[in-house]
Structure 1
Amino acid sequence: MIPSTIDLINCEQEPIHILGHIQSYGYLIAIEPDTYSVVHASDNIVDLVGTDAAQLLGQSIDKVLVGTHLPISTLTEILNVGQRNDSWETMNPHRLILNGKVWNLIVHQHKGLVILEWEPIGNDQNQLINQQLISQALTEVQSSRTLDELLQNTARRVKTIIGFDRVMVYQFGDDWHGQVVAEEKEDDLEPFLGLHYPASDIPKQARELYKVNLVRLIADAGSVPSPILSKPGWPASQPLDLTHSVLRAVSPVHIEYLKNMGVQASMSMSLLYRGELWGLISCHNRTPHFVDYQARQAAKFVSQLLSAALEFRKDKEDLTNLQQYQQTGRELHQQLLLNDDVVRALTKLPITALDITGATGAALIFNNKIHQLGKTPDDKQIRALADWMGTTGTESFLQTNQLPVLYPPAEAFRAVGAGLLSIVLSRELNEYLFWFKPERVEQVTWAGNPDKPVTVNEEGQRRLSPRKSFAAWTEIVRNTSEPWSEAELSVVVKLREDILQIVTRQANEIRLLNQRLQVAYEELDAFSYTVSHDLRTPLSSIRCYAEILLEEYGEDFSPDAQALFQKVIDSTDRMRRLIRHILFYSRMGRSELDTQPIDMRQLLNGIREEILVTSKDRSLRIDIGDTPPIMADPTMALQLFTNLISNAAKYTQLAVEGWVQIKGTQTDSEVIYSIEDNGIGFDMKQAGKMFDLFKRLENARTFEGSGVGLAIVKRIINRHQGKVWFHSEPNQGTTFFVSFPVNPTK
């Protein structure tokens, strides 16, 4: 493989959205939306309107149409309606006649400019045929019995619409390498079905563009692109952004790649799952081949049908798995509640820890003993694995489907344990619950050696070149298991809380902390309280002096200096909030619980009113369902639910209409409340640091927060002998659950 230390100048660094050229089959101008004056034009525009691009730059749009026999009012009306309604996408294309020839005009607005692109129009008879093909595609999506059949039908339908030599459905893996999972081709072409392509063949910035532009056509890889000219004085640092352009030229690296494959025309349609790139419909032709706008839209519609079908099938499968695992988890929880012996409840009864995942083996290390289920490594290997876990800093759980990569000794037992899902019961006591998945040995056939060659240019810089060989190249992939699903992770997180609740209850009798550790904890707790408390006085002084300086001498300060003083004041506000949270967090370690019945309807209504008042500038709904009472300390209960509900409301800010739903249920032993939102969600693989003090998840860093709120929630719920767990998916919202025992022990 290429050493990672090489400074590669390659396709990953190409600014493919600002290449400064368009494909030669069409024409482009960019105008300012207020004056309709031309600021950019493709050099070949002279072929369309009869006037050189250089003469058009800086002129009004009506100068473009001189001699084309198209009334300026026609184009002006299109532009006015598009700007007024912001409806460019639904209006496209516009069929216009210039110099006796019919053209499609595609218009969009991006980064302050209106961009107009003309391209040839197709046959009206083909449009009628495409409408029939779309109707047939919808029927096929509904009737396809298997995923393979659905993918193959889609490839065949797209090939019929666009007429390319080869149409492939290309699925991305977790590492962004791709595999051809369906193919429709001409009989004389060699098959690519089943071949894998390395992630470097489609670099990251290209994948991001595929999420924005769902259809991409390269009509002639051998044609000379037309440069885009800019009006005199236009800043060179502001090249025309062609992110949404249908004519955007092609990266030289990609042109070289296509030529190496013997491809003269290509087209791709994005397949999305929950807004992320699942794969592509990738089309190749051995000769130049233009596909007009209507045909591209027909193919795009077919690809969107496939995306919707994929999402429906995947969601249905995920929901079925989640419900199955959750039901098993509930049964296992009942066994834990009815048995004082944690080991027996997890390993000896009809439902075991092995049943709540798709693992083939599980091992519990508890009270210095190992208890195995199914196919696992031997005792010595399990103990060594537990010792290694203690060095990783993992606080709650760890998951990987490539354990030998993280822990090389695991290669010795990869046949039973290439994949590991682990929950931490006690790092100090070296107690863990492991699940294992066996190695999935794969023979992967690549379209050429995936290790691209490195070449050295005249400046001595090393560069990745597009592969020249696409002959089948096979390798054996080892040390990898089936990945762990979101459903498996969600149920395991809940099981950890169930086990720890039982263990904590037993710890009151048989696991008393060492006195020295207890004293050290109390001293540290008192220290944090004292430091936080004493910080407030100088912080108040800083704020006071800053406000005085700003009020008394603000007029003498420059705007920059005034802004800096305001930042000092704002920073003291944030620090005061953080100190308040830390004070509350430390105070919980000393204060006595005043446990009493809590009227949850009254408490939740109060929290809702406060949050809605502060969120009045956006659409937010907070619904409250059943509200059974809980036994808790009133102050701590208020703090706990305020943190959870305000967090839920905060992370719905990106939703058009945010909503939070709160409801409670009561069983014989506990009261469970759920707080569900439609916010940004998060990847369950990051859940291990959810309750860590001052830790925040990556996708939450743009939202204001201290990283203390959930740590407070965890500490409060622990003091009440309860549990807190959650389930989430990126961009699909989050649900937090908290449970309080009906009859807490003293």
Structure 2
Amino acid sequence: MIVSTANRSNSGINLTNCESEPIHIPGYIQAHGFLVAITADDFVIRYVSENTGEVVNRSVADWLGKPLEALFSETDLPAADLVAILNVGKRENAWSRMNPHRFRLNGNEWNLVVHQHDTLIILEWEPAISTQGNLDQQLVAEALTEVQSNRTLSELIQNTARRVKQIIGYDRVMVYRFSSDWHGEVVAEEKEPHLEPYLGLHYPASDIPRQARELYKTNLVRIIADVGSTPSPIFSIDGQSNGQPLDLTHSVLRAVSPIHIEYLKNMGVQASMSISLLYRGELWGLISCHHSTPKFVDFPARQAAKLVSQLLSSALEFRKNEEDQSFLFQIQQNEQTLNSQILKDWDVVAGLTQHPITALNITKATGAVLVFDNTFYSMGRIPDESAIAGLANWLGTESFETVFETDRLPELYPPAESFRDIASGILAIALSKELNEYLIWFKPEQIREVTWAGNPDKPVTVSENGQPFLHPRKSFEAWSQTVRNTSEPWKDAEISVAIKLREDVLQVVARKANEVRQLNERLRVAYEELDAFSYTVSHDLRTPLSSIRCYSEIIMEEQGASMDDDTRVMFQKILDSTERMRSLIRHILYYSRMGRTELNFQPLDMRKILDVIRDEIMVTENKKNRNLRIEYGAMPSVFGDPTMVNQVFTNLISNAAKYTKLASEAVVRVDGRETGDEVIYTVTDNGIGFDMKHATKMFDLFKRLENAASFEGTGVGLAIVKRIINRHKGKIWFHSEPHRETAFSVSFPKENQTP
């Protein structure tokens, strides 16, 4: 039975499912091309668009489930050449470099665009039309020259819009930049003279939902050739393809959400094209192109426009990196000065507030306050004492342990509206939530007049059964709004350096005042609980776990020959799971016993320790055919316990190696340096990184960041590292940038500084 895999539920998007609309599996393609999906191993046709029959003059049923050659057996297409091309692409995994392939089919010229998704090779055919190839090359060359020059970023953005318009010939080309809340602003525009300008207008985040933004990061160019055309459904054979909709994430023909079609029609747009602008792997903005009549831009021209946009993305990366690195270096220097002042004065308050460099100088804040020992110490412009007291009490109710930041404080804490001109944004580090002690920075309100392209609130209609439905707004006439209660956002560098300062302050606080903070009873209870927990883990869990593993191995050994493949796989999963559980138990035991283990302090030859660790990690990674390089810089001696120091660097380096497995050339670097009273080591990798705003529980037991979910781990390793560093009276801090770099730093006091 032939079945359509089209998603019929898209005719109405209600209030609850708009954000989860499955736009990557619509079950349709746009009508200007046709699609065939074949299995990668045998080239058998599994999916096909209905309109394919119009091109080859045959019924869909005639070739579903048959070899690819059957599709073109009665056409003038050289099927053997097509199969040869697919074999090359499959063997070399070079689809993107090979696209497009130009073919003549029944008297018409077509561009074939191919990609592979899981076990399917997807072939998409689009009309091949004449392009102004020489002009495209000239425009790309000019864009490259500009990127290498010293032109301002605004000039580059405007010229990019102009060049894309020349390449594709649309009526309007806009560069659209996203803000932190994902609403967008038109920052550059090239248009036909008769069109009203959109430059400077803002669009709400709901215009481009979350799942659409994710697709823009994967599929960088998107064209809608004719808003009014009827999409063609995709068919498969029930039982062969399980009737599942074809995943069109990487498709060039993927059909359009009905709600987006309605949106474009309301704007008077009949054709559109968008090109993604990325910064450090994330969506910075879009080049959005509109045309008042249907207009198809063929694949080579779209690729030329894409190259121009990628040059702009490179310029964004380069200019922003220069700015960020300069700012980060400056505030890191100020933080080091603060640390020196605290240690010299042996006084947290004096070190942070009573020198030319104060805690205010590690951010772009206009004011800061240290709440310490029931006293407020102010720097710069801050709210009055009663407002600070209320804010500190509120922070104590919030679920964070290390750092808290917001650029919309009055939305979270309504009393802040009374002092929004001073503190619409705050960055706070918790020194002790139990004692209500914080260091808080303030940024003032930035009042903005935002002009939206129409009222950003989408109209809602109610169906006969009472179900509410969202519809795109029908008017795009300028609609002004005053935005209040918002400050300049906090930079990752500000958050990173604030976390480092917290470590410095807590070190002094711990060494001076922990004895008098009435922790002895709490520690005694905690140790008793850990002892009970250790006993449970070692006796009540390890014994049955060993039995599970032992019996599973016996069954596999005795019954292995008669087992089917599925049963063998399940038993292997049992063995793998028991091994992971044994590893977790081992880590928990190590963590629980560490606090009571006597330390054997001695000078350590770090080269010997690191060489052993590197050799062990490289043996494991070489078995995985990893392209991993572990480099050393300076390696000054560390004064510490050899077993525990080995554990620290084993965790940090193995973590760095693990999270670089997606990098084409993975590099882990270990570098040490000495200051006047401590030795600092930094382990840097070029792996997946993480957003500093999501790292507030980095050292909590069993806590892992969302982007690390696909990597093996227990969530115990960094907790162990933190505890060892605390036992050595040292510090640990980190800085990371998503998809770019992660650096963990640990410090050890020198021999004469260790108690």
- Shift, 1:144, TM fit: 5.7
SS in structure 2 of the partner of residue 664 of structure 1: strand
SS in structure 2 of the partner of residue 507 of structure 1: helix
Q: Which moved more, 1:107-116 or 1:481-490?
A: 107-116
Structure 1 match to 2:8: none
Task: Please tell me the residue identity of whatever aligns with 2:30.
Answer: Q
Structure 1 match to 2:79: 72
Structure 1 residues 593, 513: closer, same or farther in 2, change over 3 A?
A: farther
- Shift, 1:189, TM fit: 0.8
- Shift, 1:564, TM fit: 6.7
- Shift, 1:235, TM fit: 4.2
* Gap regions ≥5 residues in structure 1: 1-5
* Distance in 2, Cα, partners of 1:729 & 1:503: 30
Structure 2 match to 1:453: 459
Structure 1 match to 2:3: none
Correspondent of 2:108 among 80, 98, 101:
101
Q: Which moved more, 1:721-730 or 1:258-267?
A: 721-730
- For 1:492-571, list aligned pairs within 5 A: 492-507=498-513, 511-514=515-518, 517-550=519-552, 570-571=576-577
Structure 1 match to 2:365: 359
- Shift, 1:37, TM fit: 4.0
Correspondent of 1:407 among 389, 392, 413:
413
Structure 1 match to 2:7: none
- Shift, 1:572, TM fit: 4.7
Q: Does residue 714 in structure 1 map to residue 718 in structure 2?
A: no
Q: Does residue 345 in structure 1 map to residue 345 in structure 2?
A: no
Structure 1 match to 2:181: 175
Task: Please tell me the residue identity of whatever aligns with 1:383.
Answer: A
| Deviation digits for residues 148-198 of structure 1 (CA, Å, limit 9, x no counterpart) | 211111111111111111000011122221111111111111111111111
SS in structure 2 of the partner of residue 674 of structure 1: strand
Q: Does residue 705 in structure 1 map to residue 713 in structure 2?
A: yes
Structure 2 match to 1:398: 404
* Distance in 2, Cα, partners of 1:445 & 1:242: 35
* Distance in 1, Cα, partners of 2:313 & 2:246: 31
Task: Please tell me the residue identity of whatever aligns with 1:203.
Answer: P
Task: Please tell me the residue identity of whatever aligns with 1:723.
Answer: K
* Distance in 1, Cα, partners of 2:205 & 2:58: 44
Task: Please tell me the residue identity of whatever aligns with 1:85.
Answer: E
Structure 1 match to 2:10: none
Structure 1 match to 2:5: none
* Distance in 2, Cα, partners of 1:340 & 1:388: 30
Structure 1 residues 236, 575: closer, same or farther in 2, change over 3 A?
A: closer
Structure 1 residues 223, 329: closer, same or farther in 2, change over 3 A?
A: same
* Distance in 1, Cα, partners of 2:568 & 2:81: 52
Q: Does residue 730 in structure 1 map to residue 732 in structure 2?
A: no
* Distance in 1, Cα, partners of 2:347 & 2:321: 37
Q: Which moved more, 1:350-359 or 1:572-581?
A: 572-581
* Gap regions ≥5 residues in structure 2: 1-12
Correspondent of 1:118 among 122, 125, 129:
125
* Distance in 1, Cα, partners of 2:555 & 2:234: 53
Q: Does residue 491 in structure 1 map to residue 500 in structure 2?
A: no
Structure 1 residues 725, 453: closer, same or farther in 2, change over 3 A?
A: same
* Distance in 1, Cα, partners of 2:535 & 2:180: 48
* TM-score normalised per structure 2: 0.92
- Shift, 1:376, TM fit: 0.6
* Distance in 2, Cα, partners of 1:723 & 1:323: 20
Contact 2:172 2:290 in 1 (8 A): yes
- Shift, 1:17, TM fit: 2.6
Structure 1 match to 2:233: 227
SS in structure 2 of the partner of residue 332 of structure 1: helix
Q: Which moved more, 1:641-650 or 1:186-195?
A: 641-650
Task: Please tell me the residue identity of whatever aligns with 1:65.
Answer: F
Contact 1:536 1:576 in 2 (8 A): no
SS in structure 2 of the partner of residue 591 of structure 1: coil
Structure 1 residues 228, 415: closer, same or farther in 2, change over 3 A?
A: same
Structure 1 residues 465, 385: closer, same or farther in 2, change over 3 A?
A: same
* Distance in 2, Cα, partners of 1:123 & 1:110: 30
Structure 1 residues 35, 588: closer, same or farther in 2, change over 3 A?
A: closer
Structure 1 residues 422, 74: closer, same or farther in 2, change over 3 A?
A: same
Correspondent of 1:91 among 76, 90, 98:
98
* Distance in 2, Cα, partners of 1:550 & 1:371: 64
- For 1:344-743, list aligned pairs within 5 A: 344-507=350-513, 511-514=515-518, 517-550=519-552, 570-616=576-622, 617=624, 618-742=626-750, 743=752
Q: Which moved more, 1:455-464 or 1:292-301?
A: 455-464
Structure 1 residues 27, 649: closer, same or farther in 2, change over 3 A?
A: closer
Contact 1:720 1:744 in 2 (8 A): no
Task: Please tell me the residue identity of whatever aligns with 1:41.
Answer: V
Structure 2 match to 1:744: 753
Q: Does residue 44 in structure 1 map to residue 48 in structure 2?
A: no
* Distance in 1, Cα, partners of 2:712 & 2:80: 50
Q: Does residue 18 in structure 1 map to residue 20 in structure 2?
A: no
Q: Which moved more, 1:724-733 or 1:185-194?
A: 724-733
- Shift, 1:374, TM fit: 1.0
Contact 1:11 1:253 in 2 (8 A): no
Q: Which moved more, 1:311-320 or 1:79-88?
A: 79-88
Task: Please tell me the residue identity of whatever aligns with 1:536.
Answer: S
| Deviation digits for residues 241-260 of structure 1 (CA, Å, limit 9, x no counterpart) | 32222222222221111111
* Distance in 2, Cα, partners of 1:567 & 1:134: 53
Contact 1:9 1:461 in 2 (8 A): no
- Shift, 1:139, TM fit: 2.2
| Deviation digits for residues 658-696 of structure 1 (CA, Å, limit 9, x no counterpart) | 322112111221111111112222111123211222322
* Distance in 2, Cα, partners of 1:451 & 1:532: 56
Structure 1 residues 568, 436: closer, same or farther in 2, change over 3 A?
A: same
Task: Please tell me the residue identity of whatever aligns with 1:348.
Answer: Q
Structure 1 match to 2:190: 184
* Distance in 1, Cα, partners of 2:156 & 2:67: 50
- Shift, 1:547, TM fit: 4.3
* TM-score normalised per structure 1: 0.93
* Distance in 1, Cα, partners of 2:312 & 2:230: 34
- Shift, 1:369, TM fit: 1.5
SS in structure 2 of the partner of residue 246 of structure 1: coil
* Distance in 2, Cα, partners of 1:252 & 1:7: 12
Structure 1 match to 2:258: 252
Task: Please tell me the residue identity of whatever aligns with 1:672.
Answer: I
Contact 1:532 1:579 in 2 (8 A): no
Contact 1:108 1:244 in 2 (8 A): yes
Structure 2 match to 1:3: none
RMSD (Å) for aligned C-alpha atoms: 2.5
* Distance in 1, Cα, partners of 2:105 & 2:567: 58
- Shift, 1:9, TM fit: 5.7
* Distance in 2, Cα, partners of 1:723 & 1:36: 58
* Distance in 2, Cα, partners of 1:573 & 1:623: 31
* Distance in 1, Cα, partners of 2:405 & 2:255: 43
- Shift, 1:379, TM fit: 1.1
Structure 1 match to 2:62: 55
Task: Please tell me the residue identity of whatever aligns with 2:424.
Answer: A
| Deviation digits for residues 620-655 of structure 1 (CA, Å, limit 9, x no counterpart) | 222222211122122222222222222222222332
- Shift, 1:503, TM fit: 2.4
Task: Please tell me the residue identity of whatever aligns with 2:152.
Answer: T
Structure 1 residues 9, 495: closer, same or farther in 2, change over 3 A?
A: closer
Structure 1 residues 55, 434: closer, same or farther in 2, change over 3 A?
A: same
Structure 1 residues 366, 182: closer, same or farther in 2, change over 3 A?
A: same
- Shift, 1:446, TM fit: 1.1
Q: Does residue 200 in structure 1 map to residue 202 in structure 2?
A: no
Correspondent of 1:29 among 36, 44, 52:
36
Task: Please tell me the residue identity of whatever aligns with 1:50.
Answer: N
Task: Please tell me the residue identity of whatever aligns with 1:403.
Answer: L
